[in-house]
Amino acid sequence: AAGVIQSPRHLIKEKRETATLKCYPIPRHDTVYWYQQGPGQDPQFLISFYEKMQSDKGSIPDRFSAQQFSDYHSELNMSSLELGDSALYFCASSLATGTAKNIQYFGAGTRLSVL
Amino acid sequence: AQKVTQAQTEISVVEKEDVTLDCVYETRDTTYYLFWYKQPPSGELVFLIRRNSFDEQNEISGRYSWNFQKSTSSFNFTITASQVVDSAVYFCALSEPYNQGGKLIFGQGTELSVKP
């Protein structure tokens, strides 16, 4: 079965640079979530989209933005990168209806290292 | 505010032992979902189970079983006859009602180490 695809898997950037993370949800899933997981920590919610509209926002820095496109893939854009942005970034997708609703399936994550 | 607490930071067992991972949650919502996810050393997050707040039946899947007790706001996870491949960080999570966004609120995680 198709899973959530994230790219790239690893990304190394310098401070103050910009990064773009991509997420391709499971086909027919209508909701996408982004989470940030720092070393030794639990995942923290950043932002979500339902049917291409932003549905919720967590502790996402103003330097970060995200959108969901017409083909349902989503991108997380991160500017003016700081050392503290080094983390594992997960995308998850889910269905809003049906027996499997609310189950979030996660991609393998993008490991961002800011040097 | 919603909160998930996994009091056990690390657990170490020897293969074939049974182990229970504790999870306690707080929420004011009457409708909510509880989850367990597994994060092996490779880093991905693997969905294990979802339980909704109206279903307190315990569930068993192979060596895994879950005990949901609304009265104590607990959703504990037991692995029977543990194996080395069970070594991972296990997260308990609570989701908001979908009309509030549905985001997951994770516990701090319990790192399980199963030694041969």
- Chain B residues close to A109, C-beta within 8 Å: 43-45
Q: A18 pLDDT exceeds 80?
A: yes
Lowest-confidence region among A43-52, A65-74, B49-58 = B49-58
Residue range B33-45: average pLDDT? 95
CA distance A79 to chain B (A): 24
List of chain A residues whose C-beta atoms are within 8 Å of the C-beta of residue B35: 103-104
**What are the pLDDT digits (tens) for B62-91?**
999 999 999 999 999 999 999 999 999 999
Confidence of residue B37 (pLDDT cuts 50, 70, 90): very high
* CA-angle at B108, arms to A58 and B110, nearest 5°: 150
pLDDT digits (tens, 9 = 90+) for A77-115: 999 999 999 999 999 999 888 888 889 999 999 999 999
CA distances for B74 relative to A103, B20, B97, angstroms? 19, 12, 18
Average pLDDT over residues A65-88: 96
pLDDT at B45: 97
Reported as a pLDDT band with limits 50, 70 and 90, residue B55 is confident
Asked if residue B89 lies in contact with residue B77, where contact means CB atoms within 8 angstroms, the answer is no
B43 touches chain A (CB under 8 A): yes
Average pLDDT over residues A18-35: 96
Q: What is the pLDDT of residues A29-62, one digit of tens each?
A: 999 999 999 999 999 999 999 999 999 999 899 9
Q: Is the confidence at residue B101, as pLDDT, over 90?
A: no
Give residue A16's identity as a one-letter amino acid code. R
The pLDDT confidence band at residue B94, using thresholds 50, 70 and 90, is: very high
Say how far apart CA A27 and CA A71 lie, in whole Å: 10
CA atoms in the 13 A half-sphere facing the CB of B28: 2
**Omega of the bond leading into A25 within 30 degrees of 0 (cis):** no
- B9 CA: distance to closest CA in chain A (Å): 11
Give the pLDDT mean for A61-85. Answer: 96
Instruction: Give the model's pLDDT for residue A99.
Output: 81
Region A59-66: mean pLDDT is: 94
Residue A9 pLDDT more than 90?
A: yes
Could you tell me if residue B28 is left (phi over 0), alpha (psi between -120 and 50 degrees) or otherwise beta? alpha
3-class DSSP string for chain B: CCEEECCCCEEEEECCCCEEECCEEECCCCCCEEEEEEECCCCCCEEEEEEECCCCCCEEECCEEEEEEHHHCEEEEEECCCCHHHCEEEEEEEECCHHHCCCEEECCCEEEEEEC
CA gap B111, B39 in Å, rounded: 9
Q: What Cα–Cα distance (Å) separates residue A72 from each residue in A20, A22, A46, A93?
A: 16, 11, 18, 10
The yes-or-no verdict on residue B96 having pLDDT over 90 is: no
Chain A hits for B100, CB-CB cut-off 8 Å, are: 56
Q: How is residue B37 written in tokens?
A: 């996810």
Give me the percent of chain B exceeding a pLDDT of 90.
80
- Determine contact, residues B32/B53, Cβ cutoff 8 Å: yes
Is the per-residue pLDDT at B30 higher than 90? Answer: no
A-B contacts at Cβ under 8 angstroms: 62
Q: What is the pLDDT of residue A101?
A: 81
Asked whether B73 and B81 are in contact (CB, 8 A), the reply is: no
Residues from chain B that touch A45, judged by Cβ atoms under 8 A, are: 103-105
Q: Are A31 and A93 in contact (CB under 8 A)?
A: yes
| CA dihedral for A37, A43, A46, A52, sign (positive or negative) | positive
